[in-house]
Structures are given as structure tokens and as C-alpha cells.
Amino acid sequence: MLDTLPKTEVADLYRTMYLIRRTEEEVIRLYPTDKIKSPVHLSIGQESVSAAVCAHLDKRDAAFGTYRGHALYLAKGGDLRLMMAELYGKADGCARGKAGSMHLIDTSVGMMGTSAIVATSIPQAVGYALGLKMQNRPGVVALFFGEGATDEGVFFESLNFAALHRLPILFVCENNGYAIYSNVAQRMAGPGLLARVEAFGIPAVRIGGGDTLEMFDRAGSWIREIRAGGGPRFMECMTCRWRDHVGPGEDRIYKYRSDAELDSWIGSDQLAALGRRIDDASRRSIEAEVEAALADAIDFAEKSPFPDVQEVYDHVFS
């Protein structure tokens, strides 16, 4: 199936991943200027997960994510202009400049938001899935989180609740191996994550090597099963962030992972692998479209005004 994937679908995946990669490379370029008013957690190297899953979602479907959320926001169709303006802290940002990189939202396309606090989006997504079922509304919830979030108690409570009520939710664990700088092997006892999930009766699979097309295939089949009332499914997607946990820099100086480990992931870059499946003319056309959209978004953010001082009193509880 993967070798016969239509060229249009491969091109769409490449477009999404190239957009994510180039957007974050521009964030790296701009960050030293202090124009970006927010901490950033980059998804470079992890683009495959969001791109592969969100390719099967539409506007009726909801996505919830983590503070490393640029990839998910863009893959779900979030407005690039509004994202850049938000990073700049501008009034035209997707949260009017109040939230920054870690709290991206675009409900018009079902991007329900990202959170800076580990695991908080897990029960929110399960609650949204319960709402869909109770109201008999069509739609699937795709929930993205890192393997570090599986250390939190709410993860297990949410798995249990989703399984009991056969909720329409796809759990997507982006396992990059490290919670900040702590290796998962030093934190997780027992037979591993999949066995923990399967104990709740939830079908679970691990996809190794960051393989975009394998993720795309599995996500497609399981989202179809969820739409048909099959209940929750779980994907553990092995991946790797190429940059530091937070910020635009390299992190090789900390030596919590070997250079060989990181170089191996970089050497199997999934963006480049997809690019080789597309003819040169199509690839250049996609890249030109993305570059134009990105330049426009940065210009939009530059020209957008900062929020009025009065904004600090809006959208707060007292």
C-alpha cells in the first residue's frame, strides 16, 4: 500500500512537513532579534507525526496538543499568519498576542489548543470526545502528547474512561525518548507503554523509525475504525527532536544523548525521504508556495500592532 500511495497524497504530506520545517527554521532565524516574545519548543525532526495523522482529519475533527505544538497547529490547518503574529505577541495573533508559542489555537479548523502544562490536554481531549458521543455528533478527537506525559496519573484515568465509554479518540504519543533531558528507559518500569495501554483493552501500536508513510497508513485505518464506532485507539510514534528541549539552539553540549543517536535520526530525515518521492518540478512548486506564504506571514506579524493596554483586563475571571 505504501509503495502505491497516490502522488497527490505524498505531495500533500511533503507540503505540510516542509511548511512546518521552514516555519521553525524562520523562528530560529528570528529568535535572536527578540521580535518573538515567547519561549519556543521546536518540532524539527518530529514533523511526521502531526502531518501523517492530521492528513486524515477535517474541520469537524478536533485536535489537542502540547507546548511543542507548532507542527500540530500547522498540520491541522491553523492560520500561519495568526501563528506568526502570536509568536510576535501581536494583537492579530491567534490568541491576540496573550498566549505565545505554547498556547496556539484555531477553532475554525478544529485546532482546539495546546498547553504548557504537561498532560493537561489529555483529560480535555477525552472530555471533548465524550461530548461528541453524548451529542451524537460526527467527528474524531486526535490527542497528541509526549511520552513524558504518560508519567502523570491523569493519563491512566483518561485511558480508563475512554475505554469504558468507547470514545471516538485517537491517542498519539510522540515518543522522542526524552522528558526534557531524562531518558524514558530511566523512568518507565515494566513491559513498556503499549502493555500499559493494552491493559485497558485499547488497541495499541508502536511505529518505529519515524516512518511518515507507516504513520499515515496506520492513522488512516484507525481513524476510519474510530469513525465507525470502534472506540479509542493508541499510536506510539517513535521520533526525535533535533534541537534543544526549549529554545532555538543545539543541545549536544549537555551530553544526555550521544551524537551518534542524534546523527542517526538526522540521517534518516523523513522530509528529505518524502521529497525524493516527488518529481523535481512538483517539489519546487510546493516549496515556492510555502516560501511565499511564510514571507507573507512574517510581514503580517511585523506590521500587526501590539495589543492595547486594556487587553490585559479582557478574558479574565475575577
Q: Over 60: is that where the pLDDT of 250 sits?
A: yes
Predicted local confidence at residue 105, as pLDDT = 97
SS3 134: helix
294-306 average pLDDT score: 98
259-266 average pLDDT score: 96
Predicted local confidence at residue 314, as pLDDT = 87
Domain ranges in the chain are 2-306
Q: Which helix (H) or strand (E) holds 64?
A: strand 62-66
Residues 6+ apart with CB under 8 A from 188: 147, 150, 151
Q: How far is CA 215 from CA 75, 181, 221, in A?
A: 14, 25, 10
160-182 average pLDDT score: 97
81 neighbors 71 (Cβ within 8 angstroms): no
d(C-alpha 101, C-alpha 150), whole Å: 23
Predicted local confidence at residue 132, as pLDDT = 98
Predicted local confidence at residue 9, as pLDDT = 94
SS3 191: coil
Convert the pLDDT of each residue in 109-140 to its tens digit.
Answer: 999 999 999 999 999 999 999 999 999 999 99
Q: Over 70: is that where the pLDDT of 3 sits?
A: no
Q: Pick 2-306's CATH classification: 3.40.50.970, 3.30.1330.30, 1.10.3720.10, 3.20.20.70.
A: 3.40.50.970
Q: Over 70: is that where the pLDDT of 1 sits?
A: no
What type of residue sits at position 201? G
pTM: 0.96
Predicted local confidence at residue 5, as pLDDT = 83
Query: Which one-letter DSSP state was computed for residue 206?
Result: E
Q: Please enumerate, as own/partner, the contacts of 94-97 that have beta carbons within 8 Å and a separation of 24 or more.
A: 96/307, 96/311, 97/37, 97/306, 97/307, 97/311
Convert the pLDDT of each residue in 185-239 to its tens digit.
Answer: 888 888 899 999 999 999 999 999 999 999 999 999 999 999 999 999 999 999 9
SS3 113: strand
Quote the mean pLDDT of the chain. 95
Convert the pLDDT of each residue in 101-116 to its tens digit.
Answer: 999 999 999 999 999 9
Q: Which helix (H) or strand (E) holds 5?
A: none
23-39 average pLDDT score: 96
Q: Is 100 left (phi over 0), alpha (psi -120 to 50) or beta?
A: left
168-172 average pLDDT score: 98
Convert the pLDDT of each residue in 74-108 to its tens digit.
Answer: 999 999 999 999 999 999 999 999 999 999 999 99
Secondary structure tally for the chain: helices H, strands E = 11, 8
d(C-alpha 260, C-alpha 139), whole Å: 42
Confidence of residue 2 (pLDDT cuts 50, 70, 90): low
**Between these two residues, 6 and 122, which has the higher pLDDT value?**
122
296-307 average pLDDT score: 97
**Between these two residues, 185 and 280, which has the higher pLDDT value?**
280
Predicted local confidence at residue 271, as pLDDT = 97
- Residue 207 burial (CB < 10 Å; 0-12/13-18/19+)? buried
